[in-house]
C-alpha cells in the first residue's frame, strides 16, 4: 500500500473537511475532522479572535496523532482534515512512522477570505485568517492541489494519485 491514510491540510476555509469527507466516503475510510477534537479552551480563544499558540496546539496534535495511530493499528486508513500549518505540527501528526500522505489544499488569501466570510456556522472568525496565512509553512513533501477547482475534481485527482501509489 502506498499510504496508510491522508492528512488534508491548509488554512481555514480551503475545503479540508469537504474534500476529506468526500475522499473518506469514496474509499470507505474513516473521516476525522481535527476541529472536533479541540479542547473547549481552544475553541473559546478562537471564538474570541485570539490565535492559538503552539502550546495550545501541542496536546491537541498529540491527541490527533493517537487517533490516527489507533485507526491504522485497527486496519483502517484514516482521512484527517487538519490545518497543520507549520512543519512542526505536521511532524507531530506524522510521528511514529504512521505512513500517512499529506495533501495540501492551496489557495490565495483573497479566495479563501471570501469563503470564510460566507460561512455561517463555524467557530473560526474571518479575522483569524490572516494569522493563519502568516503562520503557514507550505510543505515541501505534500501532494498539492489548487482550491480554485471544484472539490469533486480535487477528490478525483487525489484518487488518481492514490491509485498510482497502489493504495
Domain ranges in the chain are 5-164
Q: Report pLDDT for 121.
A: 57
DSSP 63-106: HHHHHHHHHHHTT---EEE----SHHHHHHHHTTT--EEEEEEE
Q: Report pLDDT for 119.
A: 60
Mean pLDDT of 112-127: 67
* Cell numbers given for 152: 469533486
pLDDT in tens, 60-96: 999 999 999 999 999 999 999 999 999 999 999 999 9
pLDDT in tens, 121-150: 544 556 678 888 999 999 999 999 999 999
Q: Report pLDDT for 52.
A: 83
- Dihedral sign, Cα of residue 114, residue 142, residue 151, residue 154: positive
Q: Report pLDDT for 165.
A: 84
Q: Hey, which CATH number is domain 5-164, 3.40.50.300, 3.40.50.1820, 3.40.640.10, 3.40.190.120?
A: 3.40.50.300
pLDDT in tens, 7-56: 999 998 899 999 999 999 999 999 999 999 999 999 898 888 787 899 99
Closest CA to 83 of 23, 146, 20: 20
* Cell numbers given for 107: 489557495
Alpha-carbon distance of 24 to 32, in angstroms, equals 9
- Given a contact cutoff of 8 angstroms between Cβ atoms, the answer to whether 38 and 64 are in contact is no
Alpha-carbon distance of 140 to 127, in angstroms, equals 27
* Cell numbers given for 26: 469514496
Amino acid at each position: 500500500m502506498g499510504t496508510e491514510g491522508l492528512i488534508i491540510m491548509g488554512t481555514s476555509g480551503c475545503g479540508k473537511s469537504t474534500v476529506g469527507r468526500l475522499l473518506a466516503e469514496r474509499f470507505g475510510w474513516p473521516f476525522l475532522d481535527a476541529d472536533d477534537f479541540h479542547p473547549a479552551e481552544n475553541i473559546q480563544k478562537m471564538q474570541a479572535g485570539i490565535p492559538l499558540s503552539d502550546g495550545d496546539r501541542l496536546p491537541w496534535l498529540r491527541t490527533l496523532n493517537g487517533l490516527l495511530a489507533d485507526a491504522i493499528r485497527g486496519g483502517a486508513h484514516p482521512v484527517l482534515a487538519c490545518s497543520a500549518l507549520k512543519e512542526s505540527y505536521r511532524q507531530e501528526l506524522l510521528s511514529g512512522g504512521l505512513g500517512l500522505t499529506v495533501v495540501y489544499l492551496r489557495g490565495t488569501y483573497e479566495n479563501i477570505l471570501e469563503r470564510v466570510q460566507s460561512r455561517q456556522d463555524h467557530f473560526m472568525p474571518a479575522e483569524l485568517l490572516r494569522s493563519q496565512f502568516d503562520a503557514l509553512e507550505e510543505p515541501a513533501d505534500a501532494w498539492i492541489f489548487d482550491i480554485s477547482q471544484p472539490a469533486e475534481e480535487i477528490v478525483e485527482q487525489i484518487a488518481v494519485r492514490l491509485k498510482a501509489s497502489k493504495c
